[in-house]
Chains A and B, each alone.
Chain A
Amino acid sequence: ETGVTQTPRHLVMGMTNKKSLKCEQHLGHNAMYWYKQSAKKPLELMFVYSLEERVENNSVPSRFSPECPNSSHLFLHLHTLQPEDSALYLCASSQGSEGGGVKLFFGSGTQLSVL
């Protein structure tokens, strides 16, 4: 148990659906992240929130919309996704985000399938 909880663990949705992924961290961290893990591709950073402010949007399509209402919660709202968006979506948190040596704590991920 890393202290980062993601729900749901699995999600199947159609291309016209709207769904949300939820992440909650119990570690008192002040930065949170969304990463995408696709088959046969390296993990990719999607979004970074530091002190509840988005500081990174790594060229992610607008059909992915993050929300960070407080330092403990992070959402990823999904709308009109494509089948190629099927992947494992990982949430992570850290204490501080400056510098390259930050240790990230990852959740177990949400396995998303878009039909």
Chain B
Amino acid sequence: AQSVTQPDIHITVSEGASLELRCNYSYGATPYLFWYVQSPGQGLQLLLKYFSGDTLVQGIKGFEAEFKRSQSSFNLRKPSVHWSDAAEYFCVRGSTLGRLYFGRGTQLTVWP
């Protein structure tokens, strides 16, 4: 089965704290991996993507993610969270024809 797992349904952090959202994938070959963010009324927006090469990828809004083949993980990180980062985050695996396999999402709450 080709799946993406986000083990944390909801995470709460204080503004200014660091953030790490977990993602694990199950796929034999090197996958195409993405992180999308969904804010209320703003739809889904691509944060970053990994296809090959450097395993640490930088995205928009100060986010980064690291691909670790040995752990089948693609965790999203941000060193200092802002209140505007509160949203739902999806780890996604890409396949042909634009097929995206979404994780269930992690809802991020940011305390002031």
Measured CB to CB, the residues of A under 8 A from B are 2, 4, 31, 33, 35, 40-45, 48, 50, 55-56, 90, 92, 94, 97-104, 106-109
Measured CB to CB, the residues of B under 8 A from A are 4, 31-32, 36, 41-46, 49, 51, 90, 93-105
B95 proximity list for chain A (CB < 8 A)? 100
Minimal beta-carbon separation of B82 from chain A (angstroms): 21
Provide a sorted-by-A list of 7 A–B residue pairs whose CB atoms are within 8 angstroms. Answer: A2-B45, A42-B4, A45-B100, A56-B99, A97-B97, A108-B43, A109-B43
B93 proximity list for chain A (CB < 8 A)? 100
A100 near B43: Cβ-Cβ < 8 Å: no
CB nearest neighbor in B for A43: B102
A90 near B43: Cβ-Cβ < 8 Å: yes
A98 near B41: Cβ-Cβ < 8 Å: no
A45 proximity list for chain B (CB < 8 A)? 99-100
A56 near B32: Cβ-Cβ < 8 Å: no
B100 near A101: Cβ-Cβ < 8 Å: no
B98 near A97: Cβ-Cβ < 8 Å: yes
Name the one of A42, A48, A90, A108 contacting B98, with C-beta atoms under 8 angstroms. A48
A107 proximity list for chain B (CB < 8 A)? 43
Contacts A2-B43, A43-B90; is A104 near B100 (CB within 8 Å)?
yes
B49 proximity list for chain A (CB < 8 A)? 101, 103
Name the one of A4, A56, A100 contacting B31, with C-beta atoms under 8 angstroms. A100
A90 proximity list for chain B (CB < 8 A)? 43-44
CB nearest neighbor in A for B101: A42
B104 proximity list for chain A (CB < 8 A)? 40-42
- Which residue of B42, B45, B100 has the most chain A CB atoms within 10 A of its CB atom? B100
